Amino acid sequence: MSAHSTAHDFKANASRAIADTQLTGNLKAVRQNFIDKRAKAVKGLPEFEALRESGKEIKDHTLAHLDLYLEYYAQKVEESGGHVHFAADAEEARKIALDICRKVGAKTVTKGKSMITEEVGLNAYLEANGVTPVETDLGEYIIQLRGETPSHIIAPAVHLNKHQIEGDFRRVHTHLDPARDLNEKVSLLTEARGVLRDRFLVADVGITGANFLVAETGTSIIVTNEGNGDLTQILPKVHIVMTSIEKMVPTLEDASQILRLLARSATGQEMSVYTTLSTGPRRMGDLDGPEEYHVILLDNGRSAMLGGEFQDMLRCIRCAACMNHCPVYHQIGGHAYGWIYPGPMGSVLSPSLIGVDEAGHLPNASTFCGRCEAVCPMKIPLPKMMRHWREREFERNLNPALQRWGLGFWAFFAKRPRLYALANRLAIKAMALIGRKKGSFKGLPGLGAWTKYRDFAVPEGETFQAKWKKARAGR
């Protein structure tokens, strides 16, 4: 079982989000920033388009030979003194992690930001088994204090504002002076730093994710802006990298190509502040580093996507540009999607990983505006794949009966041009007659879902085709 999902309740989740003015205000406050910063970074790099193409090619090639690269990578990790564990699903991944922790008698585990550990629900599992996980990324730390999940894949606490965070800090950090000033963002950051420093020092195991795995050298790479990832993986005796199989790239050169796309697309930086490469445990003569280095490679449904309609999704580098530009995400935020991955990338990925029965709403809740695909650094055709999910749902009869019936009724006429022309003319005339005194309907039987929110324009009264015929008859 992966982390708990409420994706089936998407509509209710979205309603709740829309009604939460604090949330929608917070979302609105940050969204333009993401968009502007990315636009500026992209503009500053003339070869950005060429890089996208090259990034796509690198990933396509890797995915086509993923088995070989995984094998090669694993061999390289072992050669450098590390260990690779393959995990078929979330449960296996959790167990492997707990086993490693138990072997070294770990009480406290520090964690770098990792969506994969969220996907497998690692924190709750460790806690239930007597190991205390401590998130060290500021955003993750905040949501851990609140008992929440990330609402965004690179900015997990983006749904919160400064005052909410201040409230949480005051609630939890009771050992600090209640009269302290937490008005500035920096003071929040400094406080979190101070609290976390002690935890770094007592941690027995550090768990991070990986942005890339390099087959050539058996290296895992993380990018961070706070440096917490470095402390997480260097200070404890054991470093566990928990990540998924599609993070693979063949060479360091390939990784550096894609890194140029990642930060620009994500935060508009040229590079993240820290790009950290880890290859095996500490070697003789190294000044620091862990004594043990483990990589847990999660599949959890990904290999089943290879060779199919959704393979392109495995190119994703988790930059979040798609959700940062999504009009639906802008309105409802990440939690409404109901599972780990929000926004357009989640709308494609979640049904693959937790099933379309559970996550069927997500690929439907899109206007197909195409902005996600336009900004995706890996050129993933997100709308096209959402449509593929709709096709699967349609084939399996998963859409609501009324919707199918409506579509079928319309299609019956649309497939019969003469009948269509006749029926359409009659319907249009009737509508125009009812609405002849007004320009718009405030409500209309059968169109309630439309007129609940907006008026419906009264038709002119005759169809274009009929009018055209009449107008041209005399010529």
Tell me the C-alpha distance between 399 and 344, whole Å: 20
In angstroms, what is the minimal distance from the CB of 351 to ligand SF4? 14
Alpha helices in 288-416 (DSSP H): 321-324, 327-332, 343-354, 356-359, 361-364, 371-375, 382-395, 401-414
Residue 405 touches which of ligand SF4, other proteins, none (Cβ within 5-8 Å per kind): none
Question: Does the footprint of other proteins cover residue 415 (CB under 8 A)?
Answer: yes
Rg of the chain, C-alpha, whole Å: 26
Question: Does the footprint of other proteins cover residue 370 (CB under 8 A)?
Answer: yes
Tell me the C-alpha distance between 334 and 328, whole Å: 10
In angstroms, what is the minimal distance from the CB of 189 to other proteins? 32
By beta-carbon proximity to other proteins, the closer residue of 143 and 323 is 323
Question: Does the footprint of other proteins cover residue 449 (CB under 8 A)?
Answer: yes
Contact of 206 with 235, CB cutoff 8 Å: yes
Tell me the C-alpha distance between 415 and 421, whole Å: 11
Would you tell me which residues interact with ligand SF4 (CB under 6 A)?
265, 316-322, 345, 376-378, 380
Residue 251 touches which of other proteins, ligand SF4, none (Cβ within 5-8 Å per kind): none
Neighbouring CB atoms inside 10 A of 471's CB total 9
Contact of 196 with 133, CB cutoff 8 Å: no
In angstroms, what is the minimal distance from the CB of 232 to ligand SF4? 23
Q: Total residues contacting other proteins (rule CB under 8 A)?
A: 70
Question: Does the footprint of other proteins cover residue 420 (CB under 8 A)?
Answer: yes
By beta-carbon proximity to ligand SF4, the closer residue of 85 and 371 is 371
What residue has token string 């964690």?
A: 111
Question: Does the footprint of other proteins cover residue 179 (CB under 8 A)?
Answer: no
In angstroms, what is the minimal distance from the CB of 173 to ligand SF4? 33
Residue 165 touches which of other proteins, ligand SF4, none (Cβ within 5-8 Å per kind): none
Enumerate residues 374-393 that contact other proteins by CB under 8 A. 374, 384, 387, 389-393
3-state secondary structure of 294: strand
Tell me the C-alpha distance between 296 and 74, whole Å: 11
By beta-carbon proximity to ligand SF4, the closer residue of 142 and 376 is 376
- Strands 219-224, 212-214: pairing is antiparallel
One character per residue 2-41, x = contact with other proteins (rule: CB under 8 A): ---------x--xx--x-----------------------
In angstroms, what is the minimal distance from the CB of 27 to other proteins? 11
3-state secondary structure of 239: strand
By beta-carbon proximity to other proteins, the closer residue of 175 and 442 is 442
Residue 194 touches which of other proteins, ligand SF4, none (Cβ within 5-8 Å per kind): none
Residue 329 touches which of ligand SF4, other proteins, none (Cβ within 5-8 Å per kind): none
Segment interacting with other proteins, rule: CB under 8 A, options 182-190, 272-280, 301-309, 358-366: 358-366
Cα dist from 296 to 86, 88, 126, 216, 411, whole Å: 6, 10, 15, 18, 50
- The binder of other proteins chosen from 413, 434, 473, 475 (CB under 8 A): 413
- The binder of other proteins chosen from 45, 172, 176, 365 (CB under 8 A): 365
Q: Is the dihedral of CA 299, 300, 303, 305 positive or negative?
A: negative
- The binder of other proteins chosen from 453, 473, 474, 475 (CB under 8 A): 453
Query: What element of type H or E holds 54?
Result: helix 48-64
Alpha helices in 173-235 (DSSP H): 185-202, 228-234
Structure tokens that stand for 72 in this block: 């090669």
Question: Does the footprint of other proteins cover residue 86 (CB under 8 A)?
Answer: no
Tell me the C-alpha distance between 103 and 86, whole Å: 18
Starting at the earlier edge strand, list the strands of the sheet with 292-298.
83-87, 292-298, 238-244, 205-208, 108-111, 132-135
Residue 1 touches which of ligand SF4, other proteins, none (Cβ within 5-8 Å per kind): none
Please provide the DSSP assignment of 349-385 as one string. HHHHHH-HHHHTHHHHS-----HHHHH-TT---HHHH
In angstroms, what is the minimal distance from the CB of 11 to other proteins? 7
Q: What residues make contact with other proteins under the rule CB under 8 A?
A: 11, 14-15, 18, 327-328, 330-332, 364-371, 373-374, 384, 387, 389-395, 399, 403, 407, 410-411, 413-418, 420-421, 424, 427-428, 436-440, 442, 447, 449-460, 462-465, 467-468, 471
